[in-house]
Structure 1
Amino acid sequence: MSETNDPILWRAALPWPGPDAHKHQRGRLGVVSGGMLHTGAARLAARAGLRIGAGLVRILCPPDAGALIAGAVEAVMVASFASPASLATLAGSLDCIVIGPAAGLTRATARNLAALAATDTPLVVDADALTLFKDRPNDLFACLAGMDVITPHEGEFERLFPGLLEQGREAAAVEAARISGAHVVLKGRETVIAAPDGRCRINPNGSPWLATAGSGDVLAGMIGGLIAQGMDPFEAVSAAVWMHADAAGRFGPGLTAEDLPGLIPAVLGGLA
Structure 2
Amino acid sequence: MYREARVVSGSTAMKEALRKSSSSHKYTHGHALILSGGPGHTGAARLGARGALRIGAGLVTLGVPPAAQQEVASQITAIMLKQVKDAAALANVLQDDRLNALCLGPGLGVERAKDLVPQALSVPAPEPGRPGKPRDPGSGPGLRSVVLDADALTAYTDNPETLFAMLHQRCVLTPHAGEFARLFPDIAEKLKAPATKGPAYSKVDATREAAARAGCVVLFKGPDTVIAAPDGRCSINSAQYDRAAPWLATAGSGDVLAGFITGLLARGLAPMQAAEIAIWLHVECALSFGPGLIAEDLPEELPKVFRALGV
Q: Does TM, normalized by the shorter one, top 0.5?
A: yes
Residue 174 (structure 1) aligned to one of 208, 231, 248: 208
Residue 101 (structure 1) aligned to one of 96, 100, 106: 106
Letter in 1 for 2:219: V
Aligned position for 2:226: 192
Point out 4+ residue stretches in structure 1 off by more than 4 angstroms. Answer: none
CA distance, structure 2, for counterparts of residue 184 and residue 91 of structure 1 = 24
Q: Size of the alignment, in residue pairs?
A: 271
| Alignment of structure 1 residues 44-83 onto 2, 5 Å | 44-83=47-86
How far 1:245 sits from its partner (Å)? 0.4
TM-score (norm 2): 0.84
| Alignment of structure 1 residues 183-222 onto 2, 5 Å | 183-205=217-239, 207-222=245-260
Residue 123 (structure 1) aligned to one of 141, 146, 149: 146
State whether structure 2 residue 264 is matched by structure 1 residue 226.
yes
Aligned position for 1:159: 182
Q: CA RMSD in A?
A: 1.3
CA distance, structure 2, for counterparts of residue 11 and residue 263 of structure 1 = 18
Letter in 2 for 1:195: A
CA distance, structure 1, for counterparts of residue 122 and residue 308 of structure 2 = 38
State whether structure 2 residue 279 is matched by structure 1 residue 241.
yes
CA distance, structure 2, for counterparts of residue 136 and residue 233 of structure 1 = 24
Contact map agreement 1:133 1:140 (CA 8 A) in 2: yes
Deviations 1:3-42, CA, capped at 9 Å, x for gaps: 1111227415514222222111111011000001100000
CA distance, structure 1, for counterparts of residue 308 and residue 265 of structure 2 = 20
More displaced 10-residue stretch of structure 1: 86-95 or 230-239:
86-95
CA distance, structure 2, for counterparts of residue 82 and residue 131 of structure 1 = 20
TM-score (norm 1): 0.96
Aligned to 2:29, what secondary structure does the other structure show? coil
Aligned position for 1:135: 158
Larger gyration radius, structure 1 or structure 2:
2
CA distance, structure 2, for counterparts of residue 5 and residue 48 of structure 1 = 20
Contact map agreement 1:30 1:91 (CA 8 A) in 2: no
CA distance, structure 2, for counterparts of residue 18 and residue 133 of structure 1 = 40
Alignment identity in percent? Answer: 44
Instruction: Rate the CA distance shift 1:54–1:63 in 2: closer, same or farther, 3 A.
Output: same
Structure 2 regions of 5+ residues with no counterpart? 125-143, 192-200
Aligned to 1:95, what secondary structure does the other structure show? strand
Aligned to 1:257, what secondary structure does the other structure show? coil
CA distance, structure 2, for counterparts of residue 124 and residue 248 of structure 1 = 22
Deviations 1:215-243, CA, capped at 9 Å, x for gaps: 00000000000000001111111000000
CA distance, structure 1, for counterparts of residue 24 and residue 221 of structure 2 = 34
Aligned position for 1:89: 92
Residue 32 (structure 2) aligned to one of 29, 35, 48: 29
Aligned to 1:191, what secondary structure does the other structure show? strand
How far 1:204 sits from its partner (Å)? 2.0
Letter in 1 for 2:261: I
CA distance, structure 1, for counterparts of residue 305 and residue 279 of structure 2 = 12
Contact map agreement 1:15 1:230 (CA 8 A) in 2: no
Aligned to 2:62, what secondary structure does the other structure show? strand
How far 1:250 sits from its partner (Å)? 1.2
